Structure 1
Amino acid sequence: MSLKDELTNEVRNIFSTSWDVINGRVVPSPTDVGLGNKAVYLEKAVVLYADLDGSTNMVDSKKWEYSAQVYKSFLHCAAKVIRSEGGDITAYDGDRIMAIFINDGKADRAVRAALKIHWCLIELVNKIKLEKWNASDHVIKNIVGIDVSDLRAVRTGVRGDNDLVWVGRAANYAAKLTSLSGSPTWITKEVHDLLSRSTLYGKNDAAMWQAKTWTSMNNHNIFCSDFWWSVS
């Protein structure tokens, strides 16, 4: 059978096979989802994407060793913070990390993780880098996007080389929010509506979030924040 015939048969099979969907109580790993048209459903899952802001300019202008250490430091801090807040890391993609939060307090925990990641960049990565590098001219910045929606985990690829794809608005919106500028943390109104007072207001009842209109996404209501949450 030629490659064209094999691909044609497989695509036709994918489109003609009904989906077998099960409800998930935990965030699944790839081996938890079958290779056929099978999916795991997560109700109102919160998705977080954390990304380095301006990394292209960094790799163009700095030594590769410096850029590699920035990547490793950022992703290590982000991963540790996400896990400390009960998030499940689902993917690393270059200089970004994706995580999913489910169950009680999921929006609060995701937002705290975002604000803690921002703190790590300010208080750890940007300061400790100066012990090794004369790079005071380069400020390392992050940007995090968070949304909430129903999700389906689908296993894609070929046998022996596959991974999960997350089908649902939150996975797309959270990723797209990281393309915005001006603030390190962006959330949708749906996430903002789930937050408790502790993640809505800072010291002296200062409002932590500023309402914005996402003009490129049908004027969707979103919020941004320049606040951080210290790590102890």
Structure 2
Amino acid sequence: MSLKEDLEKRVREIFQQRWTTRDGSVVPSDDSIKLNNDAVKLKATILYADLADSTKLVDGYKDFFAAEVYKTFLHCAAKIILSEGGTITAYDGDRIMAVYLGDSKNTSAVRTALKINWAAKNIVQKEMDDHYKERTTYKLYHVCGVDTSDIFVAKTGVRGANDLVWVGKAPNYAAKLAALDHTKATWITKAVYDQMDNSAKTASNGTNMWVANTWNDMGGKTIYSSTYWWSL
């Protein structure tokens, strides 16, 4: 069978094969979903944490320095995600994706984002400045995006080289939010804002930590941004 024939056969199978789906209560693993049309449905909150201006970083600085920035930021983000009950589902270059389940999923995801903001400024940037002192003026900027929705989790790829694909509004929107203005480190959808606990909405002085914005690129949806952080 030629490569063309092999591809045509598999694509035809995917479109013709009926789906087997089931509701899930835990984040599925690679071996819990089959490569055929098999999927798990979840109600989940998705967080993306993304370094901003990483192209300028790799173009303008030494490769080892860029690698150190990637490693330190992603290490802090990963540890904070796990501490808040999130599950890391992907590393993609300079960003990380996490899934949260359960009744407090929105609060946990937002608290994660605010803690990442604190760690980026008070751990990664501080240690960088202390180590390199006058040798660099690099400032780390990042954005976390958070959304919640129904998720359809399937497996994609080929045998021996496959991964889970997360289909739904939340993965798509969270990734897009993480690409917005980095002067506001955290962006969340209205669905997340409406469902999260008040402890994640107001600062210790009673001030609302969030500002409503109109997302013109997405049909004028209301989204919320914050410059606040949650200290570790």
TM-score bucket of the superposed structures, by smaller chain: over 0.9
Q: State the AA in 2 paired with 1:215.
A: N
Matched with 2:8 is: 8
Contact 2:152 2:168 in 1 (8 A): yes
Q: Give 1:129 shift.
A: 0.8
Matched with 2:52 is: 53
Runs of 4+ more than 3 Å apart: none
Matched with 2:39 is: 39
Distance 2:19 2:215 in 1: 34
Matched with 2:25 is: 25
Quick check: 123-132 or 33-42, which moved more?
123-132
Matched with 1:189 is: 190
Q: State the AA in 2 paired with 1:88.
A: T
In the TM superposition, what whole-angstrom CA distance separates every residue of 1:24-59 from its partner, at most 9, and x where no partner exists? 11001111111110001102x100000001111011
Q: Give 1:135 shift.
A: 4.8
In the TM superposition, what whole-angstrom CA distance separates every residue of 1:189-219 from its partner, at most 9, and x where no partner exists? 0000011110010021011000001000011
In the TM superposition, what whole-angstrom CA distance separates every residue of 1:136-186 from its partner, at most 9, and x where no partner exists? 521101100000000011100001110000010000000001111031000
Q: TM-score w.r.t. structure 2 length? A: 0.97
Matched with 1:204 is: 205
Contact 1:154 1:166 in 2 (8 A): yes
Alignment of 1:44-123 (within 5 A): 45-123=44-122
Matched with 1:158 is: 158
Quick check: 219-228 or 53-62, which moved more?
53-62
Contact 1:24 1:41 in 2 (8 A): yes
Matched with 2:214 is: 213
Change in CA separation of 1:143 and 1:32 when aligned onto 2, cut-off 3 Å:
same
Distance 1:224 1:131 in 2: 30
Q: TM-score w.r.t. structure 1 length? A: 0.97
Q: Secondary structure at the match of 1:116?
A: helix
Unaligned runs of 5+ in 1: none
Cα RMSD after superposing both structures: 0.9
Q: State the AA in 2 paired with 1:89.
A: I
Identity %: 50
